[in-house]
Amino acid sequence: MDTEISNRVMRILSEKIVGAHYDGKITVDTPLLSSGLNLDSVAVLELVMEVENEFGIVFEDADLSTDLFKTAGTVARAVEQKIRNRPVVASAKRES
């Protein structure tokens, strides 16, 4: 797992999603739903939007499952996969 991506996902969680409502340390193994951060549906949607904006990716409806939101690490791995599978855009050649 890419450490930079993991750190950025954990920062989003701690600074923008849970803020002062969680006093523990968020790690890649921190559960996001009922047994951990206890994110509700609004917080999950906020997380999706923040991650999409941060990394320039888009999660399709089919990507959004409870498996994606098991831990901070599962989100980071999904981001990695989206970035890796992002289409490469060829630069336009200038006419001389």
Q: Strand, helix or coil at 71?
A: strand
- Model confidence pLDDT, tens digit, residues 23-78: 889 999 999 998 889 999 999 999 999 999 999 999 999 999 999 999 999 999 99
Q: Which domains does the chain have, with CATH numbers?
A: 3-84 (1.10.1200.10)
Report the distance separating Cα 1 and Cα 8, nearest Å.
12
Report the distance separating Cα 74 and Cα 49, nearest Å.
16
- For position 41, what pLDDT does the model report? 93
